[in-house]
Structures are given as structure tokens and as C-alpha cells.
């Protein structure tokens, strides 16, 4: 599961200077759990506390908070996301560790600010705390290392909490994915790479997994809130049927190739969809450009006169090109939508029936290509 894009920007917006990497919530939770368990066994908190990441790196974390009680210990780590615009940057990740009878193993609990899974389709089943598999294994390994060193058994209950996590989670995909009550504890490497697109694409994949697990036959992938609202006026889809695609059309379509759903409504603005129509799968302005020549060719195919074709080719923006075409009575939006639908269906290898909606800034539909079936 995912908390949604931990980075809401992409690499084209990143500053030119070298960027400082950060640490995932999973790495912080592991460090906090290790420190708390060691204090529970020895009476002393290691500070800083070193952990081993999945690829062998050994970072150290300073403790921001620690408490030792009769039968449990708590340690807290301030998450440092480096130069990534991460909504959980500077959040306090706390682990409270309590010893269990021998043979109990490591058990996980969701404390305040950490969510609980309520829908199938995520890597963790419903009813479980939203702590992803890799952070769980990292914590098990850290507990086992401390237990072996201190002559104890690795049988503990770990409760992870994040003060204000429920409020922070409203800025993530968790509510839509069916993760209630707070954030997820994430990370596959332990490291946050600044301005990475991987978190957003991973969220897209998890969204599709939830849709498939629910057995939905129809979902929507939208470039933003305006296009999502337009789709909602056409269809009564549940909230988790909407995929926040952003610029990552390829991230949606390539995943659907191997994890299909019957029908997909793909919606976005004219400029972005015109780029998809030309075969671009990353719709960000820094990585793909509108082809005014392509739009002019489309107008010509629709019967535009030479003056109109020339005006579209010389337009300043895609929206200006569309306005010129509409004044000339040309259904250029529908032409672009049909072409983009063909690209989308081909990218999904024919596994999904795709509908295209093109939405203007006012939320009105200015182009449409319906489902094949």
C-alpha cells in the first residue's frame, strides 16, 4: 500500500544543485523500534542508532524522543526526507516496544496517526496496520539482531505511531485506497530519492490493485481534479475507482497491460491529451511537447481551409489551436480524443476498453471518444 506520492513534484522541477536524499517512514520506524527494544533489554537507548537497509547501507539516526517504562520502551525519530517535497518530512515516527512470551514472534500494531487497511488489493490484508512488507521485515531483522546480541528472544509487540498522522494522511491517497486513520509506513529501500517519480507510479499501481480486488469493471484515470470532477458528472463511480494519473499515462497503461480492468475512462486537458495522441506517455511539459504540426494536420483531415491550418500551426498554445478549430466549426477535440484512445489501447496491448474525455479549464467536455464496446 502507499501513502500516495511522497513527492508531489517531478524531476523536471528539481533544482540544478545536488539534492540531498532522505529516509523513508519505514527506515525511521525501524530505527525507533531497534532503539526501544535495546533500551527495554539494557536500560539504555542507543543514540544515534544504526540500522541495516535492504541493500546493505548502514545509516544512523538521532533520537528525538525516548521513554523507558516497566514493561515497554518508546523511541521517536524525526523523519528527514532530504530535499524531497514529502508530506511526511519532519514527522515524528515513534515505536513503542513491549516484550511478548517466547514464540510470539514480532507483532505489529497501529498507534495514533498510523492507518489500518480496510480494503483488499494492497500488500497487507484488511484489518492489519498499514505497515508495508519491507518495513516489517526491516524491523524483524533489527529486533533479531538486538535479541541475539543481548541474549533475548525476538518476541515483541511493536506499535508505530505518528502524531498528527491522521491529518497528514488527508494529503495522501490513503483515504481513497481504504487505509483509514492515518499514514502508511512505507519504503522498499529505506531511502527517499529527491523528486523521484517512483512513489507516484507506485501509488497508481496500488490504486489499480484495489480496483481489481473490488471487482470493479470501470475505473477512471485523470490528470487532475478538474478532469476527475468532469468524469464524476458522467458516472457514479466509487471514490477508489479514480486513479490520480497526473502526467504518468504510461504508468497507468503499462500496468493495465498485465493487470487489466474491463473499461477505463481516461480524462485530461486538451494539451496533455494531444501529447498522448502523438504517442507521449509522460505528459509533463518538461518531458514532452504539444505538436502544433500534428494538430494542424488533424484540422486539415477534418476539412479545414489553408488559412485555418496555418493559424493552428502558428498558435501559441494547444488551447489557442483548439479555439481556432472550434471557431472554424471543426471537431478537433474529438479527433485528438480518438487518436489518444487508439494510443492508450495499444499501450495497454488491447487488454482494456478505453474512453477518452478532454476537459477544458472550466470543466466542460471539449473532446470525446467513446468505448469500443
Give me the numbers of helices (H) and strands (E) for the chain, helices first please: 12, 18
Residue 5: what pLDDT? Answer: 41
pLDDT of residue 287 exceeding 60, the answer is: yes
Q: What is the pLDDT of residues 35-68, one digit of tens each?
A: 999 999 999 999 999 999 999 999 999 999 999 9
Question: Which whole number is the average pLDDT over 81-94?
Answer: 91
Residue 17: what pLDDT? Answer: 63
Classify the phi-psi angles of 56: left when phi > 0, otherwise alpha if psi is within -120 to 50, otherwise beta: left
Which is higher by pLDDT, 18 or 156? 156
pLDDT of residue 6 exceeding 90, the answer is: no
Q: What's the chain's average pLDDT? A: 93
Going by C-alpha positions, the residue among 88, 81, 282 that lies closest to residue 197 is 282
DSSP state of 366: E
Q: Are 51 and 67 in contact (CB under 8 A)?
A: no
Give SS3 for 159. strand
Which is higher by pLDDT, 263 or 172? 263
> At 115, is the pLDDT very low, low, confident or very high (cuts 50, 70, 90)?
very high
Residue 14: what pLDDT? Answer: 44
Question: Which whole number is the average pLDDT over 70-86?
Answer: 92
Residue 1: what pLDDT? Answer: 53
Residue 2: what pLDDT? Answer: 52
pLDDT of residue 150 exceeding 60, the answer is: yes
pLDDT of residue 83 exceeding 90, the answer is: no
Cα angle 330, 331, 332 (rounded to 5 degrees) comes to 90
Give the distance between the most distant pair of CA atoms in the chain.
85
Residue 7: what pLDDT? Answer: 34
Domains of the chain: residue spans and CATH: 11-192 (3.30.2110.10), 216-369 (no CATH)
pLDDT of residue 285 exceeding 90, the answer is: no
Strands (E), 250-337: 263-268
Residue 332: what pLDDT? Answer: 98
pTM listed for this prediction? 0.82
pLDDT of residue 119 exceeding 50, the answer is: yes
Which is higher by pLDDT, 353 or 85? 353
pLDDT of residue 336 exceeding 90, the answer is: yes
Amino acid at each position: 500500500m502507499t501513502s500516495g506520492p511522497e513527492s508531489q513534484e517531478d524531476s523536471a522541477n528539481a533544482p540544478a544543485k545536488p539534492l540531498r536524499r532522505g529516509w523513508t517512514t519505514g527506515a525511521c520506524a525501524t530505527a525507533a523500534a531497534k532503539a526501544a527494544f535495546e533500551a527495554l533489554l539494557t536500560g539504555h537507548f542507543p543514540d544515534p542508532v544504526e540500522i541495516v537497509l535492504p541493500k546493505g547501507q548502514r545509516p544512523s539516526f538521532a533520537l528525538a524522543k525516548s521513554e523507558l517504562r516497566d514493561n515497554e520502551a518508546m523511541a521517536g525519530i524525526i523523519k528527514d526526507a532530504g530535499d524531497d517535497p514529502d508530506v511526511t518530512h519532519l514527522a515524528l515516527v515513534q515505536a513503542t516496544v513491549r516484550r511478548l512470551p517466547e514464540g510470539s514472534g514480532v507483532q505489529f500494531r497501529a498507534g495514533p496517526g498510523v492507518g489500518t487497511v480496510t480494503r483488499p488489493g494492497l500488500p497487507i490484508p484488511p484489518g492489519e496496520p498499514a505497515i508495508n512488507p519491507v518495513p516489517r521485515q526491516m524491523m524483524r531483522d533489527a529486533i533479531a539482531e538486538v535479541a541475539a546480541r543481548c541474549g533475548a528472544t525476538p518476541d515483541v509487540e511493536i506499535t508505530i505511531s505518528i502524531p498528527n498522522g491522521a491529518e497528514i494522511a488527508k494529503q495522501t491517497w490513503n483515504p481513497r485506497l481504504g487505509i483509514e486513520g492515518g499514514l502508511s509506513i512505507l519504503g522498499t529501500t529505506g531511502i527517499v530519492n529527491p523528486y523521484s517519480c517512483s512513489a507516484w507510479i507506485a501509488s497508481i499501481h496500488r490504486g489499480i490493485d484495489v480496483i481489481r480486488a473490488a471487482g470493479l469493471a470501470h475505473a477512471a484515470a485523470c490528470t487532475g481534479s478538474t478532469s476527475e470532477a468532469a468524469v464524476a458528472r458522467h458516472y457514479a463511480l466509487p471514490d477508489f475507482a479514480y486513479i490520480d494519473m497526473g502526467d504518468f499515462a504510461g504508468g497507468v497503461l503499462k500496468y493495465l497491460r498485465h493487470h487489466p480492468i474491463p473499461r477505463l475512462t481516461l480524462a485530461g486537458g486538451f494539451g496533455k491529451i494531444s501529447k498522448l495522441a502523438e504517442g507521449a506517455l509522460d505528459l509533463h511539459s518538461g518531458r514532452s511537447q504539444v505538436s502544433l504540426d500534428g494538430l494542424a494536420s488533424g484540422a486539415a483531415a477534418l476539412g479545414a481551409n489553408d488559412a485555418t491550418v496555418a493559424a493552428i500551426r502558428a498558435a501559441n498554445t494547444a488551447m489557442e489551436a483548439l479555439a481556432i478549430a472550434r471557431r472554424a466549426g471543426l471537431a478537433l477535440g474529438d479527433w485528438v480524443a480518438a487518436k489518444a484512445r487508439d494510443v492508450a489501447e495499444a499501450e495497454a496491448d488491447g487488454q482494456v476498453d478505453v474512453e477518452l474525455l478532454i476537459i477544458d479549464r472550466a470543466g466542460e467536455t471539449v473532446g470525446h471518444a467513446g468505448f469500443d464496446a
